[in-house]
Amino acid sequence: MAAVKLIGSPISPFVLRTMIALSLKKVEYELLPEKLGEKSELLLKSNPVYKKIPVLIHHDRPICESAVIVEYIDQVWPESGYGAILPADAYHRALHRFWTFYVDDKLFPSLVAIGKAETEEAKAEAVEQFRAGLRLLEEAFVKLSEGKAFFGGDQVGFLDVMLGCFVVWIEAMEEVLSLELLEEATMPALHGWVVSFRAHEAVKEVMPESGKVVEFFKMIRAMRMKAAADAAN
């Protein structure tokens, strides 16, 4: 039996975070995917409070919540693979955690709102909110990266992982909805960051294929539209 297991699959950006972290640390693990719309016995037992993926199981003990899991991985395997994920400096660490909080609290909900918008007006509003959030992260990137490739400087750091998990979803939504979310003109630094992030060995290994994310996004959109149409009849 593997000492490290992960419940979930990389199509979930929250699971992807933990997969990138494990990949950065070169930790071997067994991936236990959940079926869409179902919850396994193991998931219900391992995360009885939220019943959500990802759950990391290490020596039979479950750890839940993606940010908590990534911090755990960084502490348990501090020196392995590409090294530390959290910056060593307390102030930089605080900034990475603050912006991660912002990503989960504001940025991700506005990304979801774009996908769920039922009118052009609602979509335009959600897009503007999302772009405003990214512009804040553009500033944060300039400050934190100090001219280097990542939020973590020369290496992929905590905020790179916590924001980077959405890159392939942002691109899929741009394609399906014919939008430009990560505008090159107003966010040149983040644009460069996406290229560096995607090119990183540890990220490439686990990032889901764009085509699969596009298909998945189309499928959940179709399901939502059908549910709305059924409700209206």
Nearest to 130, CA basis, from 94, 173, 159, 168: 173
Compute the least distance from the CB of residue 24 to a second copy, in Å. Answer: 16
Of 6, 43, 53, 69, the one binding a second copy (CB under 8 A) is: 69
Compute the least distance from the CB of residue 20 to a second copy, in Å. Answer: 18
Tokens of 125: 């509003």
Q: Does 94 bind a second copy (CB under 8 A)?
A: yes
Nearby residues of 26 by Cβ (< 8 Å), 6 or more positions away: 80, 81, 82, 202
Q: Does 91 bind a second copy (CB under 8 A)?
A: yes
Of 63, 144, 156, 173, the one binding a second copy (CB under 8 A) is: 63
x/- string (CB under 8 A) for a second copy, residues 22-61?
---------------------------x--------x--x
Q: Does 144 bind a second copy (CB under 8 A)?
A: no
Find the part of the chain contacting a second copy (CB under 8 A) among 16-24, 66-74, 114-122, 178-186.
66-74
Q: Does 64 bind a second copy (CB under 8 A)?
A: yes
Nearest to 138, CA basis, from 170, 173, 182, 95: 182
Give the binding site for a second copy (CB under 8 A).
Answer: 49, 58, 61, 63-65, 67-69, 71-72, 75-76, 90-91, 93-94, 97-98, 101-102, 136
